[in-house]
Homo-oligomer: A and B are copies of this chain.
Amino acid sequence: MTDVLEELHGGYIVARATADRVSAIVGLLADDGLGAGRERPIDDPVYTDAFRAIGADPNQLLVVVLDDSDRVVGTLQLTFIPGLSRGGALRAQIESVRVASTERGSGLGSALLEWAIGYSRDRGARLLQLTSDKSRSSAIAFYERLGFVASHEGMKLAL
């Protein structure tokens, strides 16, 4: 059963990810200059375990974009973070955005992000945040066109 969240124009749909989509999502994560060196074989059980952990947390929403042939052509993960800061504001955060190389330039990336912005607002979030590797200059320009402001340093520490 596909849990459809939104129909985008062009015949694409945004749907909650199901277990049978995990390999396709990992394929998209790995089909990327930075992601390629970071991922394992798509059938590695670490991904099934991680998918289960995502599904167990109501503050996580992993979505796929399906094309009209039911192929996974996009993904992102939304995380909702309650907090005291900014007047007790709920934050939404986006991780792991990918659009299949076959679909780039189709406007799908913008449509997917606009869906995420609307969904986060509807859920009561007052701030939406993400980090983007500084080497991804076209991604950063893309997010700026959507209204994001690169006001912060995104700092990472490998554990």
Query: Chain A residues in contact with chain B, CB under 8 A?
Result: 22, 25-26, 29, 35, 38-40, 44, 46-47, 49-51, 53-54, 57, 59-60, 62, 77, 79, 81-93, 95-96, 117, 120-121, 125-134, 140, 143-144, 146-159
Closest residue of chain B to A137 (Cβ to Cβ) is: B153
- On chain B, the residues within 8 Å of A117 by CB distance are 157, 159
Alpha-carbon separation in the docked complex, A151 to B155 (Å): 6
Known A-B contacts A26-B84, A87-B44; A131 and B152 likewise in contact (beta carbons under 8 Å): yes
How far, in Å, is A55 (CB) from chain B's closest CB?
A: 9
Whether B127 and A140, one on each chain, are in contact in the complex, defined by CB atoms closer than 8 angstroms, is no
Contact of A129 with B154 in the complex, beta carbons under 8 Å: yes
Chain B, Cβ-Cβ closest to A26: B84
B155 touches A150 (CB 8 A): yes
